[in-house]
């Protein structure tokens, strides 16, 4: 494993990576950062969770001239939440560069706000294709001085039909620039698209397959009508802190979410029909432990960086073994044992043979030994999410929120969890026992001299 110190990075950058506890480069970082720093076009293939953001992020930040307030890097992402995740990771990587200006330009947010931010100039813009193109066509965003363009999760952008928009965006950038193409897979049409826009690209591919040996895998024979009940009993038996339940379709997601909620188990669905605002809120609530169960489709869960997932449950088996490995690879990271359970109706048993073959292990489908129970109080999530209608733009800080909550002494600091600030909204997770007291504090304690409206998200 190579240390970041092997790269020609600045002292403050190396110090910050140490502070972030990034001790070694991931494989994709070791393979691509030197090429990016040298100015090559890069075609990179690496799985979700392999550290692609820092790979291009460190390269871009290294090549940036901060004294020039012009857009020097453009990063195109398929969805708003991925754009937000990339922006957050770039901010972390650039913590020591106080004058760096980053703008996120995605749909789901009023365009005039982004136009306003852009009018004050930015070094890096991260966005989704539709909104970027709208800003370019209106002249609110200029790429005349762009040095590099990153297409993140390019395969997914193609799947979502963004080819023409991406081509149109590229026309606004100068011919002489660096293009970085990141993708988890390279089917033929993705590769062709890449080669049509990259110049003399250096190809980098890392086979960072997840080590499935640290994941406990079980397959249960379950009739589809019993799926919701079976998921609840698995959760009750193993009591995992956080679980993603995968379904193959949006309809199945909705049905399973309903079925869990009807059984008193807090669950949130994540699928393509939700608007961006709701998706963002769902992810915040899952990550801050206000819900321990996320019911998702593959597409919705793709690229999400959810740390330390304890358990994966496949309500439907995916049609190919590759997707199965990808799903369960979200658990059992960082040396911890993960759990993966699959509910298998009879007609899908053949899929288990494929799964066995790809892992060189023979798996069997067993009858579960569940007793279906009525109540599952132990499955209540530990936290609840509250929000106030003020955020970064009102200069509300995490410290302000902590101060407001603990003033008066009814809510101890230890009961307060993650605080997620957005532009005009802040979410805070609080232990359930303190929900009412926390709500009362948020409504009544002034924050930055202002009163905000508080809301429960449950
Ligand atoms: P990808 O885009 O390949 O799916 P991400 O860029 O989202 O992956 O990174 C996944 C996680 O790994 C993030 O939480 C990130 O902060 C972390 N990470 C990235 N690089 C390193 C590193 N060198 N050491 C430790 N953690 C890292
Ligand atoms: Mg990524």
The DSSP string of 145-195 is T--EEEETTHHHHHHTT-HHHHHHHHHTS-SSSEEEEEES---HHHHHHHH
Between the CA of 457 and the centroid of ligand 1 the distance, in Å, is: 29
Q: Are residues 127 and 265 in the same domain?
A: no
Q: Are residues 417 and 317 in the same domain?
A: no
pLDDT computed for residue 213 by the predictor: 66
Q: How far apart are CA 55 and CA 393, in angstroms?
A: 30
Question: Which domain range does residue 452 map to?
Answer: 382-457
Atom of ligand 1 nearest to the CA of 46: 3
Residue 50: CB partners within 8 Å, gap ≥ 6?
Answer: 26, 27, 28, 206, 208
Q: Are residues 104 and 251 in the same domain?
A: no
Between the CA of 338 and the centroid of ligand 2 the distance, in Å, is: 22
Assign residue 439 the CATH number of its domain.
Answer: 3.30.70.330
Q: Would you put residue 405 in left (φ > 0), alpha (ψ -120 to 50) or beta?
A: alpha
Domain count, the chain: 3
Give, in degrees to the nearest 5, the angle at Cα 241 between 225 and 429: 110
Assign residue 304 the CATH number of its domain.
Answer: 3.40.50.300
Domain end position, chosen among 351, 378, 405: 378
Between the CA of 59 and the centroid of ligand 1 the distance, in Å, is: 14
pLDDT computed for residue 60 by the predictor: 97
Q: Are residues 359 and 415 in the same domain?
A: no
CA-proximal residue: ligand 1, atom 1 (nearest): 49
Q: Are residues 367 and 387 in the same domain?
A: no
Atom of ligand 1 nearest to the CA of 85: 7
Q: Are residues 173 and 296 in the same domain?
A: no
CA-proximal residue: ligand 1, atom 20 (nearest): 51
pLDDT computed for residue 211 by the predictor: 61
Domain end position, chosen among 205, 226, 248: 205
Q: Are residues 334 and 399 in the same domain?
A: no
Residue 69 belongs to some domain of the structure? yes
Cβ(285)–Cβ(238) below 8 Å: no
Give me 250's structure tokens.
């949006």
Give me 249's structure tokens.
């379709």
Between the CA of 434 and the centroid of ligand 2 the distance, in Å, is: 36
Residue 164 belongs to some domain of the structure? yes
Q: What φ, ψ does residue 35 adopt, rounded to 5°?
A: -65, -40
Residue 172 belongs to some domain of the structure? yes
Q: Are residues 286 and 139 in the same domain?
A: no
- The set of protein residues with a Cβ atom below 6 angstroms from ligand 1 is 22, 25-26, 29, 46, 48-54, 89, 303, 305
Global pTM value: 0.58
3-class DSSP assignment, residue 202: strand
* Cβ burial, residue 418 (10 Å; 0-12/13-18/19+): middle
For residue 55, give the ligand nearest its CA: 1
Between the CA of 362 and the centroid of ligand 2 the distance, in Å, is: 32
Q: Are residues 298 and 318 in the same domain?
A: yes
The helix, strand and coil proportions of the chain, stated in percent and rounded to the nearest 5, come to: 40, 20, 40
Domain end position, chosen among 138, 170, 205: 205
For residue 153, give the ligand nearest its CA: 2
Atom of ligand 1 nearest to the CA of 25: 23
Q: Are residues 247 and 153 in the same domain?
A: no
CA-proximal residue: ligand 1, atom 14 (nearest): 305
pLDDT computed for residue 321 by the predictor: 86
pLDDT computed for residue 86 by the predictor: 95
Nearest to 100 by CA among 56, 55, 61, 157: 61
- Of 32, 51, 156, 181, best ligand 1 pocket probe by most atoms within 8 Å of the beta carbon: 51
pLDDT computed for residue 21 by the predictor: 84
Residue 244 belongs to some domain of the structure? yes
pLDDT computed for residue 425 by the predictor: 94
Q: Which helix (H) or strand (E) holds 87?
A: helix 80-93
Q: How far apart are CA 39 and CA 147, in angstroms?
A: 9
Between the CA of 272 and the centroid of ligand 1 the distance, in Å, is: 24
Q: Are residues 364 and 248 in the same domain?
A: yes
Q: Would you put residue 267 in left (φ > 0), alpha (ψ -120 to 50) or beta?
A: beta
Residue 210 belongs to some domain of the structure? no
pLDDT, the chain, mean: 91
Nearest to 211 by CA among 63, 333, 83, 119: 333
For residue 77, give the ligand nearest its CA: 2
Q: How far apart are CA 381 and CA 437, in angstroms?
A: 18
Residue identified by tokens 């996120």 is 104
- Of 6, 53, 207, best ligand 1 pocket probe by most atoms within 8 Å of the beta carbon: 53
Q: Are residues 294 and 425 in the same domain?
A: no
Residues in the chain, pLDDT under 50: none
């Amino acid at each position: 494993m190579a240390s970041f110190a092997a790269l020609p990075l600045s002292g403050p950058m190396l110090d910050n990576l140490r502070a972030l506890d990034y001790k070694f480069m991931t494989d994709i970082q070791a393979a691509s950062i030197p090429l990016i720093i040298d100015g090559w076009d890069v075609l990179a293939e690496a799985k979700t969770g392999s550290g692609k953001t820092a790979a291009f992020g460190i390269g871009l930040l290294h090549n940036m001239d901060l004294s020039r307030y012009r857009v020097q890097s453009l990063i195109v992402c398929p969805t708003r939440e991925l754009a937000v995740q990339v922006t957050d990771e770039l901010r972390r990587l650039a913590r020591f560069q106080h004058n760096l200006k980053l703008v996120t330009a995605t749909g789901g947010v009023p365009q005039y706000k982004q136009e306003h931010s852009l009018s004050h100039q930015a070094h890096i813009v991260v966005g989704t294709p539709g909104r970027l193109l709208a800003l370019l066509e209106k002249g609110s965003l200029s790429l005349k001085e762009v040095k590099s363009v990153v297409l993140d999760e390019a395969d997914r952008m193609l799947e979502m039909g963004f080819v023409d928009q991406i081509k149109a965006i590229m026309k606004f950038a100068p011919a002489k620039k660096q293009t970085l193409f990141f993708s988890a897979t390279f089917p033929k049409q993705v590769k062709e698209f890449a080669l049509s826009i990259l110049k003399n690209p250096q190809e980098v591919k890392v086979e960072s397959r997840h080590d499935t040996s640290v994941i406990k895998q079980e397959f249960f024979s379950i009739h589809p009508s019993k799926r919701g009940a079976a998921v609840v009993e698995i959760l009750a038996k193993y009591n995992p802190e956080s679980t993603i339940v995968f379904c193959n379709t949006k309809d199945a997601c909705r049905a399973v979410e309903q079925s869990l909620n009807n059984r008193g188990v807090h669950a949130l669905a994540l699928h393509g029909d939700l608007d961006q605002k709701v998706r963002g809120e769902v992810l915040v609530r899952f990550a801050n432990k206000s819900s321990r169960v996320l019911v998702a489709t593959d597409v919705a869960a793709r690229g999400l960086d959810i740390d330390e997932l304890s358990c994966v449950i496949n309500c439907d088996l995916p049609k190919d073994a590759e997707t199965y490995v990808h799903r369960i690879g979200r658990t059992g990271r960082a040396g911890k044992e993960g759990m993966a359970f699959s509910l298998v109706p009879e007609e899908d048993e053949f899929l288990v043979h494929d799964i066995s073959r790809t892992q060189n292990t023979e798996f069997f489908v067993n009858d579960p030994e569940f007793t279906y129970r009525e109540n599952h109080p132990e499955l209540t999530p530990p936290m609840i999410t509250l929000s106030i209608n003020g955020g970064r733009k009102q200069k509300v800080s995490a410290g302000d929120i902590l101060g407001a909550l603990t003033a008066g002494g009814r809510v101890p600091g230890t009961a307060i969890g993650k605080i997620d600030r957005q532009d005009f909204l802040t979410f805070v997770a609080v232990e359930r026992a303190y929900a009412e007291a926390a709500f009362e504090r948020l409504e009544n304690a002034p924050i930055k001299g202002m009163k905000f409206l508080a809301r429960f998200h449950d």
